[in-house]
Every structure is written in structure tokens, then in C-alpha cells.
Structure 1
Amino acid sequence: MKGLQVRLAHVVGTRQRSRSDHWSFLFGQIAVYSLVVLVVTGAFLTFFYDPDMTQVIYQGGYTPLRGVPVSRAFASTLEVSLEVRGGLLMRQVHHWATLIFIGAVCLHLLRLFFTGAFRRPRGPNWLIWVGQFVLGIVAGVTGGILPDDMLSGGSLSLIQGVTQSIPLVGTYLTGLLFGGAVPGDQVIPLFYRLHVLLIPVIMVELLVVRRWLLQRHGRSHYPGTTHVPPLSSLALFFATCGVLTLLGTVAQINPIWQYGPARPGTTGAGAVPDWYMGFLDGAIRIMPAWEPIVAGHPLPLSVLIPALVVPGAFFTVLAAYPLIERRLSGDSRIHHTLDRPRDAAVRTAVGAAGMTFYGLLWVAAANDQLAHHFSLSLFAVTWFFRIAVVAGPVVVFELTRRICLALQEQDRERLAHGVETGSLRRSPRGEYTEATTSPAQRGIHADQH
């Protein structure tokens, strides 16, 4: 198999040798540039935002809410949105940058996984990007709470329920988090400090460590190529800034003046979390109502499993996968050349199964919308997802593995018999045969053209 990969690498290499970088390498750069935009816009917003949950009577410029009791946090967010010059643009660019950052990190992790870029010596680099994924989600959740609007109030209720579901210490942790009665008066100041001071510092420090590791180990590359530093990094930075500014200008997001201030125990109809939290919402929606009595106390498995056990297991396996694969395969060598996904059939199948599991939970977050728009029973839709999240990854794993093996067999046939050219030759005896070329010759011809 290694010999086959080396010979087929020549085909890929002749077509990529003149490229500065493969397009899939750009996801990491987009994530870094989105983080830069997040830091800049977040610094602007801190000058106007007041993380105070004290209730005041709103007397600002938005007429429909005048005279309504709101928190200072909500009032300051409304002020920066509607009264500060450029404030709404900054808020929306900040929100869009969060979504793009987490999306770019997800795509970058997929690229690292399917090409085997997490193998030695780049295991720490993999952990850094998994950490960025988790920190991005935490930053998004804590930032979404800060406006203290109806949508963030619903998120706080979910956080309260998840915290209280933790056995033995749930009630104690809830008291520490909310400072007594929910929602209390300290959760938003606490999340503000996490969101503004702690999380960004950790994320930037991780990127500094990543840069050091990149200089130490060098960049990975596809077969048959050597890495050339990208020439369009500055252009990509300006393109990322331009796209985020365009989205912040024309695509409205989180209009808190339409949601109104948070009210304990109340949430808006059709309220959904940002896309990166959809898997958690979906897991909670399809989890059966299991609440056994243990030692005389109810154990809320219907919340504990989907909200803590499933995400915890998912991210633990994700972070530990390089070590797991190394132990199972016995491969402890240094790798600087990336794999084609088809050449690592089991790994590709595992990745496809994981994506299926995550995607089904993500879609399950819209089970009520699916039932409504397609005139289906909500009970039937929920049970479909309960079965699909168990059976779907297994089916996709086997299907993907077989596809990869079939593609490997196709490569072997091409290597043995050559590549069809579509040209027929007639022998002196009158026999017709199709002319074929070797994969290397075909790559050379394509490169010349």
C-alpha cells in the first residue's frame, strides 16, 4: 500500500507543485483573522457596555420600551445598538465573527483529521485547535448571555437546569454561579469577566504556542509537494474583514429590541441557539424522560446525559483521538506528508460517522419545525432521531469504509493497467485496442497543459 501511495503521489504532486498552498489550508488562517476581528470589535463594545443586572426604568431612544423595567446590561446594549454611531455595525460584526470563527475552526479540524495532520509531531497542534473549538463555544455562550434580553434569558434557564442536574453538587454550583435566587445579580458580571478577560487571553496564547510549534516542526504537505509559504495571507485577511463587515451591514442578527428584556421563566417562541450549540439542543430534545430514583433522590438523566455526558465524551474522544489511533495502529513514526482520505479507510469512516452523529443531533434541534412544516407527528420525528443517532453513524461508517476500499482498488487497477485515453489503435492484424498511459505520464501531460 505504501508503494502504491508513493507512486500515485507523483500524479498529485505534478498538479500541485506550482501552488503555494492547498485551499483547505486557508480555514486555519480564516479562524485566526476572525479572532482578530473579534478582539477589535469586542474592545470597542467594552467602552459602552455595562455588565450590571440592577433594574432601571428604560428612558432611552427606543420608544416602544420606554418606561419598561430593564437591567442596566440590557439598556447599555440597546444604547450601543441604536444610539452609538457605528455601534450596531460593531455588534453585528462581532456576532458574525464568532459564528465564522467557530465554523472555520470546525472545518480546519476536519482537514487535520481526514488528512492525518494530527500525527507525530503535530499532536499538540491538534489539541490547540480542539481547545480553540471548545473555547470558541464557551465564548459564544458567555457573550450571548451579556445583552440580558429574552433570548439570553432562555439560555440562562438552560444553564441553570444543566447545572442543577449535576449529582451531589448541582445545587451548590448553581448558588455559586447565580449568587442565590435565579437569575440573581452576579451571573452576567461573572460571564463578562470570562468573556472579556480570561477566554480571549487563553485563545491568543494558544495561537502563539501554535505559531511556535509551526516554526519548530514546519508545515505538513500533500504527497509529492513541498510547502511554500502562502502569498495571499494579507489579501485573505482583508477579504475576511470585508466579508464580516458586509454581513454585519446587510444581515441582521440578534435584534434585542425585538426580543425585549429577559424575564425569569419566560422565553420567546421559536427561540433557538446559535448554530454551534444546535447539537446540545437537539440532544436534549430527543432524550427520553429518564429520571430514576437513586438513594431516595431523583437523578435527572434526561438532562444530565445529553447536556454533560454526551458533549463531554465527544470532546474527550476528539482530543484523545491521535493517541487512540497511535495505540491501535502502532504507528509512532514522524509524519510530515498528509494522507489522502481514501488511503486511511478506517479513519475516514470514523470521521464520517462522527460527522453523522453531530449532524443528526444538530438537525434534531429543529424537530418541532420539521414536524410543523412537513405536517408530521412530533412524536414520530423525535423517535426517528432517537433511532438515527444510534444507527446512522454505524451505517455511514461501513458505507464510507467500503467506498474508500473501492477507490483504493480502482487506484491499483489504474496503476497496473494504465489510465484510459479514449484513443483506439488498430494492429496490422485488424485488432482494436485502447491506448493507455501510466498515472505518472497522465500527471505530467496535465501539468504541461
Structure 2
Amino acid sequence: MFGELMTLRSRYVRGAGQGHWSFMFGEIAAYAFVVLVLTGAFLMGFYEPTMRRTVYDGTYPTLRGVGMSGAYASTLNLSFDVRGGLLVRQIHHWAAVIFVAAVLLQLFRMFFTAAFRRPRGLNWLIWVGLLALGMAAGVTGTVLPDDQLSGGSLSLIQGIVQSIPVVGTYLTLWLFGGDVPGDRIIPRLYEAHLVIGVLVLALLVLRHRLLRRQGHTRFAGGRPRTLDRRSRLVAAGALFSAVCGVLALLGSLAQINPVWLYGPFEPGSITAGAVPGWYMGFLDGGLRIMPNWEPNVFGHPLSLAVLIPGLVLPGAFFTLLAAYPMIERRVTGDIRPHDLLDRPRDRATRTAIGAAGVTLYGLLWAAASNDQIATHFHLSLNAITIFFRFAVIAGPAVAFTVTRRLCLGLRQRERDEAEHGVETGLIRQLPGGGFEELIRPPRKAIDRAP
């Protein structure tokens, strides 16, 4: 059944002029957001964004009689005393994970196929903004239960804000409302979470309008077909049903964020093995491997060990990501509008740059588990940390070089096949007694520039 669904959806994609399964990532992100809105509206009816102290007297026996915030108590009641509450909570959490993953994959597709070129530069910025907002929504949403695990994220936010020169202390006092954790951070993050959702909705609506006005991109050689309105609606409904079905299965069978196991947040404590969401792993990895640099500037300590990986690194990442189309346009001088997509191998330098960026992200993500690697493989934590410090510098350079050579090699192979044919590995004997290999003519000539 799922195979038939994907076949129907692939036909719709081709009929819309897209022609490749990777074009479904954008719609998966939109449908996951719809699930987020529906489940979030349900959760809003039972969650209390307050840090007022209370004593839990709900169904979960382990924490009965324990003092905690109203936010944590309402999360426990939502999980154990509201019919379907735990299922909706878990679907909401999984939908957030799928949303960020789909946005990231959509950016990968657009980057490696050059779907960001004119006239779709604004579309690229929309997806970059959706990635940033999705990460921010994930962080704020994770903190809202006010459990011991979310307290680790809260402490990280505090440290990053305090590392900002000159104004860091004032921003911390304003954000937390006085002493950390204060009594305002949960309500403010709750409001921020809702505002982020509205911004995501606005960007998705803008993206839809741009898509209707500009049309779809396609690969060279594609033959777009047009489906009637009913067929398009059926195919879109089928994909939406598939996304909802997968999220329902994950919410039912795969436990995620069991806040009752962590207990209420207590300042100064943290859960062992606590790590952020996978999409924020690069931030945690950078914090773990950054050397402890704290120079004094005009008599004031500057915490570069937190400032660089916590603010400078993500800021530089999103700035370069947003500005890349303009940078490439300036370097190549290509200002023409494009509807045809590139194959990654046809643009070796761009593909190599993307591979280097993915490698850097992957290494920082892996560095976020340096303690787990050291524990499970019985290695020195210091040795693992030092390895990642060198790897994040050398790894992207190696990935760039290898990827570029692979792309150039594939292009050269295609040229050779276009000129001489495709080697089949079959040998035949000639009438005169000699031998020759059977050469199959190429399917089509390759005439794209490297």
C-alpha cells in the first residue's frame, strides 16, 4: 500500500513539472507543521506556563508529594491524567523532529541542484529562515516542561547569553526576571514558542505563493505533465495521510522525551548523559571541544569558550548559508534566470563546498557525544576531545578535495563514454582470431560544462 502511495505521489510530482522524489521534502515539512499546529492547539488547553511552586498529587506515584513548578506538574497531568495526552505530546515532539529534518533535506536539495538561482533567491531565504525558526522552536519547546533535562538547555541558554560582551548580564536579568532561573523564563519562552509558530506559518504561506507564481524547477530532459485538479488533490491528500500515519506510529510506538523519568528541574543539577536535539548537536559539540579561552579585555574577562561556539559559529553558519546565492552570483557573474536544475557532479566546486559544510556539521554533531564515545569504547575523554579539535579543521578540507575529484572524475568518465561508448566487459572473438571488447553506445551525449 505504501509503495502504491509513493508511486501515485511520484506521478503527481512529475505531473507538476518537478520529476524527482526529492521535491517532496518541502511538502513533508508543510504537512508536519500542520500536525504541529493541531497537536499544539490540543496541548495548549492543558499546559500551564507558570513557574509557581506546587506539590504534585497526580497519577504518577514516584513523584507524588514532590514540589515542582506548575509547568512540570501540568506536563505530568497531561501525560498521565488526560485521555490521549501522552500520545498527542509524543506526536507533537516527533512532528517537530520531522519538520526540521525535512527543512534541512530541502535545503540540501536546493543547494546541490542550484535551485536558489534567480528568480528563486527569496525562496532560498525562506527555507533558511524556516531552519533557524525550527531550531528555535525546538529549543523553546524542549524547555517548557521544566524537567531536569530541559533545565540543562536552560543553563546553556543562560551561559550563552551571559557570554555576550557588555550587555550579557543585563540581558540575562531581563530574560530570567532576576535570579536564575527566576519566575519569568517559562512564560517568556512559551510566548516565544507561539510567536515562532506564527512566523513559520507566514513563511510557509509566502513560499506557497512564490511557488504558484514562479512555477517548479526541473532537471534537464524532464518532460513535465499536467494533472487535473482532482488528481493533484488526491495525491497531496495521500502524502498528507502518509505523514500523519508515520507520525501517529512514532507517537504510539517510539517513546520520546519521557519527562517523568527526569524529575523536576533543580538549579545546579543536570541529568547524566543529557544532550540536545539532534539538530542542535553541532552547538553542543562546539561547546565541548572549544578550548578554554578567557582573555581579559580592558580588565573584563571575555568567555570565548562559550561565545564562539554558542553565538559566533551559528551566526556565521546562517549568514553564509543565506548569502551563498549572492556570493556565487558575484563570483560566476551568472545573473540569468534558471528553471533547469544542475546535477551535483556538473558543478564540482559547489558540490565540494556543500560536502565540506556537511562534514563540519557531522563532526561537530559527533563531538557532542565525546563522553559517550569515551565511555563505550574505553578511550580517553581528553584524547577524543583533542581528536575532534583537529578533525573539525582537517575534515572539511579533506571532504572538499575528495568530493571535487570525484565529481571531476565522473564528468570525465561521461565524456569518455560519450566519445568512445560504454565498456560492457564482454569479449568477442573476431573472424581473424583476435579479440575485442563489446562497446555499447551511450544513451545520450553529455555536453554540460564542468
TM-score, length-normalised on structure 1? 0.92
| Secondary structure at the counterpart of residue 70 of structure 1 | strand
Once residues 277 and 361 of structure 1 are traced to their aligned partners in structure 2, the CA distance between those partners, rounded to angstroms, is 10
Superimposed CA distance per residue, residues 16-61 of structure 1 (whole angstroms, 9 cap, x where no aligned partner): 8999731111111111111111010000000000101100111112
Give runs of aligned pairs for residues 282-361 of structure 1, distance below 5 A.
282-361=285-364
Name the amino acid aligned to 2:354: G
Give runs of aligned pairs for residues 72-151 of structure 1, distance below 5 A.
72-151=70-149
* CA positional deviation for 1:86: 0.3
Match of 2:261 in 1: 258
Name the amino acid aligned to 2:187: P
1:206 to 203, 206, 225: 203
| Secondary structure at the counterpart of residue 151 of structure 1 | helix
* CA positional deviation for 1:229: 6.2
Give runs of aligned pairs for residues 131-280 of structure 1, distance below 5 A.
131-196=129-194, 198-228=195-225, 232-280=235-283
| Secondary structure at the counterpart of residue 27 of structure 2 | helix
CA RMSD between the two structures: 1.9
Match of 1:67 in 2: 65
Match of 1:3 in 2: none
Match of 1:405 in 2: 408
| Secondary structure at the counterpart of residue 160 of structure 2 | helix
Name the amino acid aligned to 1:138: A
Once residues 59 and 429 of structure 1 are traced to their aligned partners in structure 2, the CA distance between those partners, rounded to angstroms, is 96
Once residues 254 and 48 of structure 2 are traced to their aligned partners in structure 1, the CA distance between those partners, rounded to angstroms, is 25
| Secondary structure at the counterpart of residue 186 of structure 2 | helix
Check conservation: 1:95, 1:253, Cα contact below 8 A.
yes
| Secondary structure at the counterpart of residue 216 of structure 2 | coil
* CA positional deviation for 1:428: 5.1
| Secondary structure at the counterpart of residue 56 of structure 1 | strand
| Secondary structure at the counterpart of residue 219 of structure 2 | coil
Superimposed CA distance per residue, residues 367-412 of structure 1 (whole angstroms, 9 cap, x where no aligned partner): 0111111111111100000000001101110111111111110010
**Residues 17 and 35 from structure 1, CA distance in 2 versus in 1: closer, same or farther, beyond 3 angstroms?**
closer
* CA positional deviation for 1:226: 3.6
TM-score, length-normalised on structure 2? 0.92
**Residues 229 and 139 from structure 1, CA distance in 2 versus in 1: closer, same or farther, beyond 3 angstroms?**
farther
**Residues 228 and 82 from structure 1, CA distance in 2 versus in 1: closer, same or farther, beyond 3 angstroms?**
farther
Once residues 17 and 121 of structure 2 are traced to their aligned partners in structure 1, the CA distance between those partners, rounded to angstroms, is 26
Once residues 346 and 56 of structure 1 are traced to their aligned partners in structure 2, the CA distance between those partners, rounded to angstroms, is 59
Once residues 424 and 389 of structure 1 are traced to their aligned partners in structure 2, the CA distance between those partners, rounded to angstroms, is 48
Once residues 352 and 271 of structure 1 are traced to their aligned partners in structure 2, the CA distance between those partners, rounded to angstroms, is 29
Give unmatched runs, 5+ long, in structure 1.
1-15, 444-449
Count of residue correspondences: 427
Give runs of aligned pairs for residues 349-388 of structure 1, distance below 5 A.
349-388=352-391
Once residues 19 and 124 of structure 1 are traced to their aligned partners in structure 2, the CA distance between those partners, rounded to angstroms, is 20
Name the amino acid aligned to 1:360: L
| Secondary structure at the counterpart of residue 439 of structure 1 | coil
**Residues 148 and 17 from structure 1, CA distance in 2 versus in 1: closer, same or farther, beyond 3 angstroms?**
closer
**Residues 18 and 99 from structure 1, CA distance in 2 versus in 1: closer, same or farther, beyond 3 angstroms?**
closer
Percent identical across equivalent pairs? 61
Name the amino acid aligned to 1:134: A
Name the amino acid aligned to 1:168: V
Match of 1:57 in 2: 55
Once residues 174 and 366 of structure 2 are traced to their aligned partners in structure 1, the CA distance between those partners, rounded to angstroms, is 34
Give runs of aligned pairs for residues 4-83 of structure 1, distance below 5 A.
21-83=19-81
- The answer to which structure, 1 or 2, has the higher relative contact order (CA under 8 A, 6+ apart) is 1
**Residues 345 and 86 from structure 1, CA distance in 2 versus in 1: closer, same or farther, beyond 3 angstroms?**
same
Once residues 135 and 145 of structure 1 are traced to their aligned partners in structure 2, the CA distance between those partners, rounded to angstroms, is 15
